[in-house]
Structure 1
């Protein structure tokens, strides 16, 4: 089912909950890419992976929503290499960002022990915090 109306408006009720809590640009990027991918690949996992990949080039997941990145580009090695690269995804965390940026995101999410973490540990901790925040938001109905 299309996520964008003929007039170009995003049907926010049809979007994943993390995108419903995100800005208009994130919603448009995901919805328009998903509609296009569904035309090409059909309604399924491949179309959704394509839409999330496009979203991860411009946005990163912070807590229970997506925020625009300071720079465009793939968020992790999986997004860079595409399907079948065998590399794990960072779940929306911008693993290619600087350690300083990751530390700032971890601080925003109140990740304990962040000051002693290396870059990969920050990515993993942010991913866990994001999952936790998304779960809380879904449970509360936000």
Structure 2
């Protein structure tokens, strides 16, 4: 199935460039691996190199690169994904994202706590936008 018919709603609400990255990577992955979860994971990995999830959509990162230890380590790593949060960004950036998402207590949070709070708020906003 073409990427345009399978595009997740968070990407459909994102900039056109993000949609193009996801669609191109998805379609190439379908040709290589076949339809399914692996094609989606590949498309998200490509997207997360240049974009990060903020709320219910994806926004361009200031600097492209791996967003978390899973992305940096590749397929064989046991690290976990941070669900689109740019966990490799400086703490000041994470505080800015938390401010944008109106996360309370952000100024006293550690970097790991900020990542978890942003993930939680992103999921909440995605659920609200979907339904």
Bigger radius of gyration: 1
Q: Counterpart of 1:102?
A: 94
Task: After superposing the two structures, state which structure 1 stretch, 123-132 or 75-84, moved more.
Answer: 75-84
Alignment partners' CA distance in 1, 2:6 and 2:15: 15
Alignment partners' CA distance in 2, 1:18 and 1:133: 10
Alignment partners' CA distance in 2, 1:55 and 1:93: 12
Alignment partners' CA distance in 2, 1:14 and 1:36: 14
Alignment partners' CA distance in 2, 1:18 and 1:121: 23
Q: Secondary structure at the match of 2:70?
A: helix
Q: Counterpart of 1:36?
A: 28
Q: Secondary structure at the match of 1:61?
A: strand
Task: After superposing the two structures, state which structure 1 stretch, 79-88 or 101-110, moved more.
Answer: 79-88
1:81 to 2:73 alignment: yes
Runs (4 or more) in structure 1 with deviation over 3 Å come to: none
Offset of residue 83 of structure 1 = 2.2
Q: Secondary structure at the match of 2:35?
A: coil
Alignment partners' CA distance in 2, 1:116 and 1:14: 39
Q: How does 1:1-142 map to 2 (within 5 A)?
A: 1-3=1-3, 11=4, 14-139=6-131
Task: After superposing the two structures, state which structure 1 stretch, 34-43 or 81-90, moved more.
Answer: 81-90
**TM-score, length basis structure 2:** 0.97
Offset of residue 46 of structure 1 = 1.1
**Number of positions where the alignment pairs a residue of Structure 1 with one of Structure 2:** 131
**TM-score, length basis structure 1:** 0.89
Question: Which runs of no fewer than 5 residues in structure 2 stay unpaired?
Answer: none
